[in-house]
């Protein structure tokens, strides 16, 4: 029998609510499997059935059905033998298809990698599996994570769970849609400039971008290595917290990883009394949609009523963050995509008769338009004569943004503002105008440039579409960020 909606979750409207089956909280699902009151196989089959039933939303590229069921049987056998299967025992989840996962191809939603079978798994997947979680499917994304709408997938466009004519955000659009449609209790995404938080906001779920380096990137297709962050998408802050608890920490396979908090990320204080919260002026400007602003203003008023001190804060150089991002990110994309040359990965143009032609034709035919665009921009800003004018200056401005964030966090505990200037936009509305599409990331790239922790929390609806509020915390304060996010979640639901 389907569970009743949990407190703290905004009820979905329209046709979406007619076929949703709400999962219990992750901790309860795992406890049920450990106690034997539920089986991992039942949970996995339930997830697979939901994926099958909701194919029309095109959130999933492929399932890992055979391996998932085998792992479920193993976990059930452990529970039956009195052994502890782990903190996430039997909990099914979905991974964005740029994570290396056994049991399915890893395509990054690109024709360039179609047919690639991973020889090992990403560290994040290994940690989740060690805790008993089971990956059941791979989610759609913008190819190589290049995009804000999931329209850049080489396979198909994922549909927004609230309105099929609109985008789910990107690049982790498949992951966010899957969670909103209850295909699994949580999903994994990657966030380089917005790609967990934007789809979370557009799909009405929680999307966490941890501090840079808190979760290992080993075994995840690189987009821009100094910006990429691994994060969970879930229905509640508590569910996101337990996933982070399992994944966080140092990894010898990723030299950029950092030490985790000594206290559990699940040990959260949901009180905001005495907190000093800054309203980020640059993220609440005149370009913000009135409906989005209205829902965020309500959340801010609730925080003030609960005893938080609210002040306006400015990080002036944030107005340049999008320009800086679209210099530095393509530069790193250009470097990271150089390995896909038609020689070492599945796609290779068979018509070439020499090596140079093979390189040219394989990359011309294997990459989509957005990947080519970012390669060309990145190569240009790194080229002789332009490096100093663009790349070096962008790095200097990035340092200034970091310093301004640090100064702001000396005044306040958290910063809040909008995730996106608008609600989810129509499919095709911006796909022919790359610059207009890039503006969807306007309020989020600053956090990636600075390496701060940030999150999107659902705070209401505007004209039938979900609105997310962004909360930012200093580097390493992920646990505190989850605490205030849980408080916001409770205030919105009350």
Strand partners, 465: 462
Do 119 and 125 touch, CB atoms closer than 8 A? no
Provide the pairing of β-strand 206-209 with 229-234.
antiparallel
96 an active-site residue? yes
Which one from 54, 96, 127, 477 is the annotated catalytic residue? 96
Q: How far is it, in rounded angstroms, from Cα 185 to Cα 164?
A: 22
Catalytic residue status for 37:
no
- How far from 417 is each of 114, 280, 286, CA to CA, in Å? 39, 6, 13
Q: Say which DSSP state 388 is in.
A: I
Kindly state the helix (H) or strand (E) to which residue 394 belongs, with its residue range: helix 393-411
Nearest alpha-carbon partner for 298 in 469, 473, 486, 482: 469
- Which of 195, 302, 334, 431 is an active site residue? 195
Tokens read off for 215: 């979760």
Helical spans, DSSP H, in 252-367: 290-305, 321-336, 355-366
Distance from C-alpha of 88 to C-alpha of 177, rounded to nearest angstrom: 22
- Structure letter (DSSP) for residue 186: E
Are the C-beta atoms of 322 and 394 separated by less than 8 Å?
Answer: no
Inter-CA distances, 334 with 180, 404, 438, Å: 33, 29, 18
- The DSSP result for 247-277, as a single string, is HBS-BTTBTT--PPPSS-TT------TT-EE
Residue 383 bears catalytic tag: no
Give me 15's structure tokens: 């046709």
Catalytic residue among 171, 302, 358, 431: 171
Nearest partner of 144 among 442, 409, 368, 449, judged by Cα: 368
**Pseudo-torsion of CA 186, 187, 192, 198, nearest 10°?**
-60
The catalytic site residues sit at: 96, 171, 195
């Amino acid at each position: 029998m389907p569970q009743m909606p949990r407190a703290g979750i905004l009820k979905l409207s329209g046709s979406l609510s007619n076929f949703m089956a709400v999962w219990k909280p992750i901790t309860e699902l795992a406890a049920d499997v450990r106690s034997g009151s539920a089986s991992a196989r039942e949970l996995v089959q339930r997830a697979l059935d939901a994926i099958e039933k909701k194919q029309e939303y095109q959130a999933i590229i492929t399932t890992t059905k055979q391996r998932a069921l085998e792992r479920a049987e193993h976990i059930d056998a452990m529970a039956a033998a009195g052994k502890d299967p782990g903190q996430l025992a039997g909990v099914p989840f979905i991974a964005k298809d740029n994570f290396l996962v056994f049991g399915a191809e890893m395509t990054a939603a690109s024709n360039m990698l179609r047919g690639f079978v991973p020889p090992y798994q990403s560290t994040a997947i290994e940690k989740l599996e060690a805790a008993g979680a089971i990956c059941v499917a791979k989610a759609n994304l913008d190819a190589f994570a290049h995009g804000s709408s999931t329209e850049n997938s080489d396979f198909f466009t994922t549909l927004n769970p609230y309105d099929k004519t609109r985008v789910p955000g990107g690049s982790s659009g498949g992951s966010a849609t899957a969670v909103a449609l209850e295909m699994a209790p949580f999903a994994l995404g990657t966030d380089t400039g917005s790609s967990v938080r934007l789809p979370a906001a557009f799909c009405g779920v929680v999307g966490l971008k941890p501090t840079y380096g808190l979760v290992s990137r080993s075994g995840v297709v690189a987009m821009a290595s100094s910006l990429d962050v691994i994060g969970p998408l879930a229905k509640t802050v508590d569910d996101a917290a337990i996933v982070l608890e399992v994944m966080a920490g140092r990894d010898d396979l990723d030299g950029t990883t950092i030490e985790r908090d000594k206290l559990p990320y699940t040990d959260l204080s949901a009180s905001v009394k005495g907190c000093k919260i800054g309203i980020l002026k640059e993220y609440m400007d005149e370009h913000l949609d009135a409906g989005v602003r209205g829902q965020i203003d309500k959340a801010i008023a609730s925080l003030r009523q609960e005893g938080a001190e609210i002040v306006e804060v400015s990080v002036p150089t944030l107005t340049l963050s999008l320009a800086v991002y679209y210099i530095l990110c393509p530069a790193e994309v250009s470097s990271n995509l150089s390995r896909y040359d038609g020689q070492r990965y599945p796609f290779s143009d068979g018509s070439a008769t020499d090596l140079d032609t093979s390189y040219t034709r394989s990359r011309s035919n294997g990459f989509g338009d957005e990947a080519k665009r970012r390669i060309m921009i990145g190569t240009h800003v790194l080229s002789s004569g332009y490096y100093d004018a663009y790349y070096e200056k962008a790095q200097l401005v990035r340092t200034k943004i970091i310093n301004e964030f640090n100064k702001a966090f000396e005044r306040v505990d958290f910063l809040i503002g909008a995730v996106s200037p608008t609600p989810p936009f129509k499919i095709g509305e911006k796909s022919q105008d790359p610059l207009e599409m890039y503006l969807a990331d306007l309020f989020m790239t600053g956090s990636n440039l600075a390496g701060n922790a940030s999150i999107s929390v659902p705070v209401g609806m505007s004209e039938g579409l979900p609105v997310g509020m962004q909360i930012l915390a200093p580097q390493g304060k992920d646990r505190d960020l989850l605490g205030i996010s849980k408080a916001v979640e409770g205030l919105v639901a009350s």
